[in-house]
Structure 1
Amino acid sequence: MPTYMLFTVWFLLCIPGSVHLVRALNEMGVTIHPEEAEALTSILAAWNIQAPQEWNISGELCSGIAINDIIIIDDQAHNPLIKCDCSFNESTICRITALKVYKLNVVGPIPPQLWTLTYLTNLNLAQNFLSGPLSPAIGKLVRMEWLTFGINALSGPFPKEIGLLKELKSLSIGLNNFSGSIPAEIGNIKNLQKIYLSNSGLTGQIPSSFASLVNLQEALITDLDITGRIPEKILGTGLSGPIPSSFSNLTSLGELNLGDISNGSSSLEFVKDMKSLTILVLRNNNLTGTIPSSFGEYLSLQQVDLSFNKLHGPIPDSLFNLSQLTHLDVSYNDLAGTLPSWVSLPNLKLNLVANNFDLEGLDKRVLPGLKCLQKNFPCNRGKGIYSDFSIKCGGPQIRSTITGKVFEREDEDLGSSSFFVNDVNRWATSSVGLYAGNINNIWVINSLDGELFQTARRSSSSLRYYGLGLENGGYTVQLQFAEIEILGSKDWKGLGRRRFDIYIQGRLVEKDIDIRQTDDDTTVRPVQREYKADVMENYLEVHLFWAGRGTFTVPTIGTCGPLISTISAKPDFIPTVSNRPPSKKKYRTGTVVGASVGLGLLSIIAGVVIFIIRKSRKRYTDDAELLNMDVKPYTFAYSELKSATEDFNLSNKLGEGGFGSVYKGNLADGREIAVKVLSVGSQHGKGQFTAEIIAISSVMHRNLVKLYGCCYEGDHRVLVYEYLPNGSLDHALFGGILHLDWSTHFEICIGVARGLAYLHEEASVRIVHRDVKASNILLDSKLHPKISDFGLARLYDEKKSHISTRVAGTIGYVVPEYAMRGHLTEKTYVYAFGIVALELVSGRKNSDMNVGNERKYLLEWAWNLHENRREVELIDQALTEFNMEEVKRVIGIALLCTYSSHSLRPPMSKVVAMLSGDTEVSEVTSKLGCLTDWRSDDTSSYSFSAFQTKETGVSAYNSMSFVMPSDNDFKQMLGVKINEGR
């Protein structure tokens, strides 16, 4: 090619994504090889994928960003994506060098045409639902460097032809259904740096040829039935020890994670020269000896997990030198001695349970309850006090609607100690284990199912519950589970598996239990197990242990470890103990004499106190009666909330609304909170406090904002919620604060629908929210939606017809039959959801006076577009990529939700099913059935002018709506007996 032509090509290649580039290349005859074009077209057609215009300009596959060197194959903004090299045949032929079809829910086998793309160096097909065998033709891809098939459903033997890929640097096949042994031919790939085989289904020995992988930097081989040499990172495989002393040569190693190595024993001598370590996890490896004092020289060390070993001696004080250390877990060893002063450092997370430490001189405020969880469980040992216990794991106190049994709350943030002993030493819990690389875990998670399964406690490794001070004898232990994190689905998210072992009193009673009961639907099905246990030393131990089995990264990283909803134990004998905590009163002679001397003074003081109490009783009666519920919210001291918000500093103010202000705060245990201070100068403020306490204390769901507690001290009425950092949906959609892709829009829509379905159809106390709108939907750190502001909520009794002369809600979201007639039904909030769904699709508010009449009202505009089959015009212009099938589905469902007749609107459970694709979207009939003619400025039939409010700066935790029902009306609707005074 002449020099001037080469210069021209080079110059054009510097213009990213330019149409002129494609035209120029085409004029020069540069095009994709016809066989590869045909192969790629066949592959995309088999997977029902269209080649995006951005790399398929004017029908040329190798054009646009496909030949733009600035856009790399791992660019998250482009998927699917190919990359081409157009330097072949004197720069006249392009070859496909990279192909990414990642996380697109592709279903079916791998098309044979894929193996003809022999110029591929990078292939990423991860997180789909590909099935069938992996062809031996994979050996044709001899130029391959980065190969990823992880998280699919591929089966059959793994082809030995993989050994022909001599240029391969990374191989990922984890989480598939392969069978047979690991091919020894992998040892021929001398350039291999990373290999991921976890949960792939392969068995047998680790081939000796692996010793030839001299460039290997990272190997992840978990949950496989294999034997042989120990790789660098391995959990739950059945490999045996001892740990090789040659590991000491890895002086530059930054992370070492070895777990569950059976047989043999080792000391910590082999890590003596690994002073570059930042993470050291040696859980359950039969380690013996002491913790070396030289650990104080590991200045980069951040996390240490030495749990479940046989280490003895003290914890060396030299560990205090590690300023970067944030996690230390030495539980379940034989360590002894006194604890150094640094155990109370606020930034250090510790687990010291089940050792032999001398705690006599330790301040009880430091690691409270630790004494009860030392070996032999000294609390109440040798005397029976209790005869049963029932625990609601990871959640608030709750009474079973079936048995009437009360399960005690266990929703503590385990914080730095990772253990908790309840206040009367009746039971305790201990969580062990670190997530290397993912230490900010959500320990309490919510579900879609019945009362007992709304929350669960999850641990990263080991979770134990103890019954303390039990009368000796035989017991029946009942455990209840529900897999509320890994839900069944028809895509890669349904491939996850949680497996753990169950021990009762140290005896293995269940191996590799998988509490997920279904593969192909999203129904959460509870699992119940009962076991017999003998209590002989006044304590009972239930141990849930993750031995490295199951998956770790599906649907999100860190999804593993034991999970439990409730635990209870009842005696198989007639108890002889009171089953009540011992009295704390101690009567001594000196105390009695002292009390007698001061009796006269106390009588005078008592008279004054009685007068004050009688005078203020009426003020507190309502709250005391109202909060006398089975499920009581946690009560904060007002001083605690002042401290958390820096005395309600204006810099912490998130916003304000009609019933008060909201502040951001930080509790002493590290939790971020939103503090809603209600104005009780009006009955409306008091009514809202009452409503939110009753409503949100009765329910818990992953798509409802979590209430941590409240404060009703003096005239103060405060609600304490979890803090959600991404604010409200209206700010995200209309404020330009966040740039959300379509996938996030769609997931938010499904999440809101699930939350509403739970409120009315699944919770034991059914609730109509009455103010569903974008500003009352908050987004957490992962952009999961949570419905908030229950101040206008009402408990719903489907046997009664609700007519109210006072209408609650927000203009544009209130269904007309309710706004004009006060008629409240279970379908009232379905209309509001339809409006929110349209806002999610369009990225605009439900009304906009700054646009033309045709587009002024979102619902009317949506209907006009639908009738003319122009729905695509409704889509938010900021969305550069979207799934048209999903968009049409959401629009159709939104129109169904806004029918004028409430009986025609679908229940929210059906809305969820339609959004999830489990049910076809019902046919949308004519516009006559919809509420497009009702407008917020139409005062001919009903006037709203008196109720309009200013929403600027309103907090999402305390949004404003135009009318609150009267206090008496509200009490009557709740059906709560409240004494007005005595």
Structure 2
Amino acid sequence: MFSGELPADIGYWLPNLQELYLSDNTFRGTVPSSIVNASRLAVIVLSMNSFTGSIPITIGRLELLERLFFAQNYFTYEGSELNFFTSLTNCRKLRTLVFAHNPLKAFLPASIGNLSTSLQIFEASGCGIKGIIPSGIGNLTNLQRLSLDMNELNGSIPITLGKLQNIEQLYLENNRLEGGIPQELCLLKNLGELYLSKNQLSGIISSCLGDISSLTWLFLDSNTLTSTIPLTLWSHKSLIVLNLSSNNLTGNLPSSIGSSISPLVGLDLSINRLSGGIPSSIGGYQMLNNLSLAHNNLQGSIPESLGKLISLEILDLSQNNLSGMIPRSLETLRYLEYLNLSYNRLQGEIPSGGRFNKFTASSFRHNKDLCGAPKLEVLPCRNKQKESRNLSSLKYISPIIATIIGLVVAIYLLRRHRRLRKQNRTNVEPPSLLEWTRVSYYELVRATESFDESNLIGNGAYGSVFKGKLSDGVNVAVKVFNLLSEGAVKSFNVECEVLRNIRHRNLVRIISSCTNMDFRCLVMEYLPNGSLEQWLYSHNNHLSLIQRLQILIDVASALEYLHHGQPTPIIHCDLKPSNVLLDEDMQARVCDFGIAKIFGEEEFRLRTATLGTIGYMAPGMTLCLVNLILHNSLA
């Protein structure tokens, strides 16, 4: 909370200063021009303050400068071009240049192409930058991240971006860029994230984009693209989120959709001109969390295979020409939070099982031939089939009742309790579809109060976990890896690899990650009820028998998904009560995949019996967990 202005002569009395960190305070005023007299400066971090005035044009005299952070201040620029770039061309060791979220409102000069080829990170989002992207930017061949989003850039995307062979993240969304998507972008073989949303781009989506094997996040939404969707995108094996919504795309969805092994969790094709039916093969995307095909010209029936999308939370098929009945298989989607089937030509009885008991009339409006409960504002069904369905269900569950009656009764009571509690909740709006959270290091510093010990919630072999609160009010858990610890980097890489390929309600969710040369962390959802270990050995907290039983079911569901719910088996290797977290509803989430193993089918068969830490290997750990929980309960 330091405030005030920097001394005008700061550069004179600190001639040997090499690193200056003043971020996340309330400093104001201008940056003293004397700072260039501290000629040994290699790092300047002034982000997240209230500095005003211009960025000193003499900053380039600091020839040893490697990292420069001016983000989130109130720097302005009086000229038409950002001429301090010309000065920075003298800094041949410059690796990081960040001045995002300042009201600069000027043009990028051509001299940007003369910056050091050592530059790896260039962030200038949210600065009101005008004009075109200079073609010389392609000279910065070592760039790994380029952020020019949320500006007022126009003109076309320069083809020279194809020279950035090391680029991993390219953010150009929320501008006024025109023309087509250059095929030269397909040369970027290390590209993982491509954001071109909310521009004025036109033309086709080149099939070569699907040949970028490293691509995981592709956002081309809110443009005027006109073409069919390339088949190469449907056979892509690394794509996690694909958003092509709000364009003029045409054609049918191919029969091959969902047939390839893919970690896709988000698919948004809404507000286009797609036609034909929804292929049944779409059920192959078993990790899919969000699916929107709304506002198209799709027809035919809703495929039963949608019931295979076991992780689905959002399903929007509204504003199409779909007909036939609503598949009963959708009742099995236990995590479905938002459903919209309105403005179609559906008919028959609306299912009442599963999550359907929480949906309102807004999910089914303008389907004149649907029938169901009065609360759904449709006609009542003539043929009552509830009794026959109940009798059929009893036929299948009666042998189970006869053998494990106590367990079934407990499960029934638990589900009834949770269903009544959820029915009393106020309906909420669905989460923003396919929105990826990017969190900067400085936001994490602010969120955790500079990783203060008061926010420490756990320690492990490779690092620590802190509670934090992001700028949008969301509570998160920040797992910071101790890079001095042997194996920490490997643990971080393993956990990233596992978490990018899995999606299940009983596994802890990753929100984002943050890395730089000296820092590695994972940003995950914060679970307020702590770990199972805390509850089992606490004198103040008590778990009921039903809660203990549900925790067992949740952990078993997570293990079953890891072992058999996806093409590549994953073995946790460190399952124990401290790695089972509980959310606000006491639902269990398995966490900490730092020593997990990912196996091919044959390797999985050969090594299942010899994995992990002795005492915690599956299924032995499952038995230990059962005995431990039930022993505590009886005690």
Larger Rg: 1
Larger relative contact order (CA 8 Å, sep ≥ 6): 1
TM-score for both structures, normalised by structure 2: 0.49
